[in-house]
Structure 1
């Protein structure tokens, strides 16, 4: 009988429910560096205005920000691509690096709670 190696467990936390409260709790727990900006944006866009019409855009932005920040390797990869694009002397190289970041961010938008 062949022994099977145990599947590695992912250190990346799952995505929360797609609500402001659940997203804020996940950010506070797993990506606290984002919390001051999240809270300021919430205050400026929602709380101070008593207007919930920006809520879908607010959630979309922070869903992507958290999905990247919750994975330290992915976060470092995205930061590296941004840095390399900013430092590049070649348009084509900078464009390719930023297109990669765009693809990552687009994929993050599609994540569902629990993934």
Structure 2
């Protein structure tokens, strides 16, 4: 999967299926600095699933990283999210409030897209 840089907010890569190989490849393409976090989360999810005897932690891992990829594969969306995340630390209440709304909107939209809606 090769990332092509674009001037618009078109996706850098196609939307990957929520499988371990596809998500690993997608994270490597759109957010390579987050691969250590991806692998740590993966390990924790699989350990938790084994300890609990259920697959919910694995499904949540797939969904979480599907959302990360959905945001990061759209450069303008990712930029807006990261700017809003920084603004959450503003000393101005109005700036913080707007940043919190922006983060929420972006993340909710990504969740809807990952859910197929």
Gaps of 5+ in 2: 1-7
Q: Which residue of structure 1 lines up, in the alignment, with residue 41 of structure 2?
A: 41
| More helix, by proportion | 2
Retained in 2: the 8 A contact 1:46–1:54? yes
Larger Rg: 1
Matched pairs, number? 106
Write out aligned runs for 1:69-80 (5 A).
69-80=72-83
Q: Which residue of structure 1 lines up, in the alignment, with residue 113 of structure 2?
A: 111
Retained in 2: the 8 A contact 1:64–1:108? yes
Q: Deviations over 1:2-57 (max 9, x none)?
A: xxxxxx89352121012222111211233212211101110122157535330121
Structure number with greater CO (CA < 8 Å, separation at least 6) is 1
SS at match of 1:14: coil
TM-score (norm 1): 0.75
Rounded Cα–Cα distance in structure 2 between residues aligned with 1:43 and 1:26: 18
Runs of 4+ in 1 over 4 A off after TM superposition: none
Say what the alpha-carbon RMSD is for the aligned residues.
Answer: 2.6
Name the CA shift for 1:57/1:112 in 2 (closer, same or farther; >3 Å).
Answer: closer
